[in-house]
Structure 1
Amino acid sequence: MRRLVIALLVLVGLFVAVDYGAAALAESAVSRQMREQIGLVDDPSVRINGFPFLTQAISGQYSSVDVEATRIQVGELQDVGVHAQLREVGAPLSMLLGSGPKSLTVKEVAGTVQIPASDLERLVPGIEKLRIENIDDYALQQAVDEGGDKSLRTIDPENAVRLAGTATLLGQQAEVSVIAVLQLVDGQAEIIPRDIRLGGSDAAPLPAAIQRTLEQRFSLRIDPGSLPLAATPTKLRAVGGVLEISGYADDLTLGNGTVAATGK
């Protein structure tokens, strides 16, 4: 009995090792394909989800594949992050591991582009240690209670952000806090300041002249490039300390560096 258990454990270990190795080879092949499809300099990180891998490989159907790349340069931006989740992917293993042309079918793509605070800081003159923070209804109400414009109550927190950092004004450094509205315009991120304070979020509102000067600094329209695999941008939000543009695409065929609708 003991020998049987040991033999079974060895077989399970061998299966896991073979499964892992086959998945790694397939992920490497998909990575090279995605580099061409997304137009990257280096191979992105790829993870084929689901276990065991071999049962998916035999059928040529994969439930989901994650593709991720970081520190991408797009125009003035230096550290853009890109993530795509491919769902219901069709790709025979022989094709993936072969030397010939490769073509994948994808039922749905969820794509995101992330702009970190470090990139945003480069676009705002005189600002250091910039942070991107979420904001809620309570914080908006508090800003009004502390002298802010009553229209702040009408802002949807899902479409808003607080930007905080250190500003240099007249040779002096001070903490700056900005409540801004986020808009998605033609696939680009637009930041519209609505409330700016020096000395922290609980400081008194600034005089109108200084407010207008700082609004010009923080009024931005940022082009982070297209979403991966022709996904259509639908949402802009602040999440996890970054600005994120996300969207979807359906029924695609990927191959030879092109993305085409399958016509379904």
Structure 2
Amino acid sequence: MRRLLAWLGVIVIVLGIILGVLDRVGVHYAEQQVAKNVSTELASRNITSAPPEVTITGFPFLTQVAAGNYDEIQLNLRDLKGGTLPLPLLQVHAYDVRATVEGLRNGTEKAVATLVNGTGTLSYADLVEVSGLEGVTLIGDGSVLRVTGNAGVAGQLKGAAKVTVVDGKVRIQVTELTASNLAPIAQQLVNTYKDRLARTFEIPPLPFNMKLQSVNPAPSGLEISVTAKEVELG
């Protein structure tokens, strides 16, 4: 009896290992199919980016396959271009995704997500560059965008700006900007800097009909949040 139980234990362990391997193989295959379809979708919309990196979460995966429903699919889209500002990385989380592996494989079905959220960070250095300014540094404190730097005859600059979303674009409004040199010619230069900073910046075209919802001036850069509902992932 003990020997039988021991053999049964070994069989259960072996079956568990086999199922675990099959589960991981299935995940890898599904991730490749989603990445392929997403790449095709991006190309059809003339959205420029590096090949998407796809991760399907949740375990066991095979039960999700059987149900044709996946808890969450994560996609990393790198080097998005096409707007005023490039977007180095857009991290996308697709929730409650409906699709079958067979449908994805033969092209008869597209993965559809109930909700898609995305986050990314715009570079302050890129923002300064497209503004055509020199000697200026931007940094966020979580609520306000701080402006510092050296503006030639104007001397040291110091100021702040508010960042908002207007019509799907990033809007920067300079709330204050002063220079250490108070001469009239210096003030003219300060006004030029104000005009170049206080403007609207376009982010690259977004996949999956996602819309820009919010922007936050974080220390690492302008953090953006995008979202969409009932989305075909490709």
**Shorter-chain TM-score above 0.5:** yes
Distance in 2 (alpha carbons) for counterparts of 1:3 and 1:128: 74
> What does residue 30 of structure 2 align with?
26
- Out of 165, 186, 200, the residue aligned to residue 184 of structure 1 is 165
- Contact kept, 8 Å, 2:215 with 2:224, in 1: the verdict is yes
> What does residue 249 of structure 1 align with?
228
* Unaligned runs of at least 5 residues, structure 1: 136-156, 199-203, 256-264
Bigger shift: 208-217 or 83-92? 208-217
Q: Does 1:37 align with 2:41?
A: yes
SS at match of 1:111: strand
Deviation (angstroms), 1:29:
0.9
Q: Does 1:196 align with 2:207?
A: no
Distance in 1 (alpha carbons) for counterparts of 2:114 and 2:75: 15
Bigger shift: 113-122 or 208-217? 208-217
- Contact kept, 8 Å, 2:210 with 2:226, in 1: the verdict is yes
- Contact kept, 8 Å, 1:57 with 1:92, in 2: the verdict is yes
Distance in 2 (alpha carbons) for counterparts of 1:163 and 1:9: 62
Bigger shift: 227-236 or 43-52? 227-236
- Out of 147, 169, 172, the residue aligned to residue 152 of structure 2 is 169
> What does residue 111 of structure 2 align with?
104
* One-letter identity of the residue aligned with 2:112: T
Q: How many equivalent pairs are there? A: 223
- Contact kept, 8 Å, 1:106 with 1:251, in 2: the verdict is yes
> What does residue 69 of structure 1 align with?
77
> What does residue 199 of structure 2 align with?
220
Bigger shift: 100-109 or 25-34? 100-109
* One-letter identity of the residue aligned with 1:29: Q
Higher strand proportion (structure 1 or 2): 1
- Out of 2, 14, 17, the residue aligned to residue 18 of structure 2 is 14
Q: Does 1:55 align with 2:59?
A: no
- Out of 94, 97, 121, the residue aligned to residue 114 of structure 1 is 121
Change (3 A) 1:189 1:205: farther
RMSD: 3.1
